[in-house]
Amino acid sequence: MNPTVKIARVRKSSRPLPAYQSEHAAGIDLMADIDAPLQMAPGERRAVPTGVAVEIPVGYEGQVRPRSGRALKEGLGVINSPGTIDADYRGEVKVLLVNLGQLEIRILPGDRIAQLVITPVVHADIVEVDELAPSTRGPGGFGHTGR
């Protein structure tokens, strides 16, 4: 059974609610809830409002991810990708966008700027130990196992 995610508008808007754009889409498209276009210079970061708050069921999280088309064409990314929306957060969803491209990016009111993927969360039991079990890899990291 699919989880139910409740969405509330945080202010009046004629824009549609976030929605899946195809039958098998993994992400719900989030739109910029802004009154006027905004420009993002190369390297600039912005918290862009979506105009909605969500109620995600306990045991799930919302992952805010970039939209692949804008990422490829313009360099528009989500700086903390994936951003996490916890099940107990009830504030407005804002997307932390970054312009990773070399040209200015223009965000228009209602533009689809990111996608929200709802995924299960597992809480681990945290246990302090004096020593960890050895592994083949050991402490090697950052390219240690190959290119």
Q: Report the alpha-carbon distance of residue 45 to residue 122 in Å, rounded.
A: 31
- Tens of pLDDT, residues 54-105: 999 999 999 999 999 999 999 999 999 999 999 999 999 999 999 999 999 9
| Nearest CA-CA partner of 76 in 54, 51, 108 | 108
**Contact (Cβ atoms closer than 8 angstroms) between residue 44 and residue 38:** no
pLDDT of 147 higher than 70: no
Query: Which fold, 20-120?
Result: Deoxyuridine 5'-Triphosphate Nucleotidohydrolase; Chain A (2.70.40)
Record the pTM.
Answer: 0.88
Q: What pLDDT, on the 0 to 100 scale, is given for residue 136?
A: 84
Sorted by where each begins, the domain ranges of the chain are 20-120
Q: What burial class does residue 79 get, using C-beta atoms within 10 Å of its C-beta: 0-12 exposed, 13-18 middle, 19+ buried?
A: middle
Q: Give φ, ψ of 91 to 5 degrees.
A: -80, 175
The DSSP code for 126 is: P
- Tens of pLDDT, residues 8-66: 999 998 899 999 999 999 999 999 999 999 999 999 999 999 999 999 999 999 999 99
Q: Which residue has the higher pLDDT, 143 or 75?
A: 75
